Structure 1
């Protein structure tokens, strides 16, 4: 049986070049992944998919967009390097066009830069940054683009976000340099690709509307959650935000505070507290609850957490604490 020259692309081998042996030498195919917000994806797809169809035809690259009703989507661009650069150029110019259009309705005078977020296996980020930051500095200086490599990995993955911003021309030059680094230093070990999660709880209620938290933003949530909200309203007097008069005459508008206690294993308490208390402060801020963590007791392998606030505050704080524990445990792979 003749030896096949085409090494197939395995799922998860992001950025790893597929080598296709041809008569004329080596032709390198790359896969680059981009992280985009829903609005940006809508701009790339265009009416009835016309924009993305045109981009595919004119660049020659394969452009796939992840499914789902997620606030973030992954756009995968695959093809020989020259087709990838064409596709990137078209995306960068499209985003610039969107910025110009949005500015025609606003009084802003300075034009914001075009920004793209690449998703790169963490094992390749060291090569992108270079010794003491030398490589990333060289990229910034030679292309004029701003390049930032995220310090943390994206949730439940071994990938990091690399943000590039500048003029479309600067971005294209920068992507070319990044591709060269990717080809010179393939990923080490298996890559767990980042998959954006659908909009889901935690939920916040305000003014009769349910919201979910996505990053730093609260996004209106589908109606089934307002049922929870109605239940919460039956239990406690409820005042919409911004309304200072009591919801019921003669009653204090703020719901009575209650207390809930949790016990957490000592070895997991760190992921809830975070570096210098950043995570616990975030949970306090998002939930609106007071959270106290007891000191470690001698001979005990657990720590007590006391949560004080309204029932809604407490359930949100519990949800956020459980979410931290789940991501920590799944991240470790074993419990």
Structure 2
């Protein structure tokens, strides 16, 4: 293990984000949360697990490096134990490796790969684990997944080395964190129109003005908004009034990315305004600042749709940059 991590171990605070399937997470949580409680107590690390209605979940480990690696080792041991248990009823002769996915800001992946892939090759060889950095970003984010596979010991060693590189090269610009989506397309309601969100596009849904499908679509749309859904028609009407209330939201966007939101002769920003029904104002550049202020005004639903479309543009632009 690198001495800089050991010596400054207690002074360095780290955050590691792991992307896992629901089944693996269930095993880590354990019956009545006993397993994760034990991990928290024994490691001293903060362990947060994202919401449960998604096929994928994010586990965030935060704390001093010594606590993080203790928690990480316990998670790996649990996954290794699950593989061993599944082997007892299986006819397979060779044991599959433990596989772990880290979620890392794309702006740090270049340092991890190194010139001509030299850094990642060095990590693979010294840790003895397989390491793969995804070429594309995770949906609606500026983060990439790094898959590490091997023996528990080689994975721990590999992640330590990845953490050292990340501590030496902090992320650049704005990081849009990956949030796993519930299964099925989310629906956003804006300007009296329901949109199903698929990838980076909001697709207008047909106007189903009769039958139970309308309420289903409206309820899905309302879940995207900050107010509660009432089950009676009257409550739904109140919900609609609430969605008509106007508000404003501010975003800070780096100067070098503002062009991808404005588009050629303002085409992109006009498209986002039209689709969301929100007003979007981009402030003039401020001397000495590397960021621009963007103000979105409209109903709660149209602000959330505009923000979603802007983030989708940012992540596709960043993917374009990463691919070049």
TM-score (norm 1): 0.54
Where in structure 1 are there 5+ consecutive unaligned residues? 1-23, 203-213, 216-226, 229-266, 268-325
Q: C-alpha displacement at 1:67, in angstroms?
A: 1.3
1:77 aligns with 2:61: yes
Instruction: Give the match for residue 176 of structure 1.
Output: 160
Where in structure 2 are there 5+ consecutive unaligned residues? 1-7, 187-197, 200-211, 214-263, 265-306, 317-324
How far apart, CA to CA, are the structure 2 residues paired with 1:331 and 1:46? 35
For the pair shown, the structure with the greater C-alpha radius of gyration is 1
Q: C-alpha displacement at 1:190, in angstroms?
A: 1.3
Q: C-alpha displacement at 1:68, in angstroms?
A: 3.3
Deviations 1:100-153 (A, max 9, x none): 000101100000000010000000000110110001000110011000000000
Instruction: Give the match for residue 317 of structure 1.
Output: none
How far apart, CA to CA, are the structure 2 residues paired with 1:41 and 1:25? 27
Q: C-alpha displacement at 1:332, in angstroms?
A: 1.7
User: 1:134/1:330 Cα in 2 relative to 1: closer, same or farther (>3 Å)?
Assistant: same
Name the Cα RMSD after superposition. Answer: 2.6
How far apart, CA to CA, are the structure 2 residues paired with 1:109 and 1:127? 38
Q: C-alpha displacement at 1:161, in angstroms?
A: 0.2
Q: Secondary structure at the match of 2:11?
A: strand
How far apart, CA to CA, are the structure 1 residues paired with 2:9 and 2:136? 39
How far apart, CA to CA, are the structure 1 residues paired with 2:169 and 2:144? 16
Deviations 1:73-120 (A, max 9, x none): 000000111111111111111100000000101100000000010000
Instruction: Give the match for residue 312 of structure 2.
Output: 331
Instruction: Give the match for residue 122 of structure 2.
Output: 138
Deviations 1:147-203 (A, max 9, x none): 00000000000000000000000001001101100110000011100000001149x
Q: Secondary structure at the match of 1:27?
A: coil
Equivalent of residue 167 in structure 1, options 140, 146, 151: 151
How far apart, CA to CA, are the structure 2 residues paired with 1:164 and 1:25? 23
Q: Secondary structure at the match of 1:58?
A: helix
Q: C-alpha displacement at 1:328, in angstroms?
A: 7.6
Instruction: Give the match for residue 260 of structure 2.
Output: none
Instruction: Give the match for residue 92 of structure 1.
Output: 76
Instruction: Give the match for residue 101 of structure 1.
Output: 85
Instruction: Give the match for residue 187 of structure 1.
Output: 171
Q: Which has the higher helix share?
A: 2
Q: Secondary structure at the match of 1:169?
A: helix
How far apart, CA to CA, are the structure 2 residues paired with 1:48 and 1:26? 31
TM-score (norm 2): 0.56
1:158 aligns with 2:142: yes
The 5-angstrom pairing of residues 1-335 of structure 1 reads 27-201=11-185, 330-332=311-313
User: 1:327/1:107 Cα in 2 relative to 1: closer, same or farther (>3 Å)?
Assistant: farther
User: 1:162/1:47 Cα in 2 relative to 1: closer, same or farther (>3 Å)?
Assistant: same
Q: Secondary structure at the match of 2:82?
A: helix
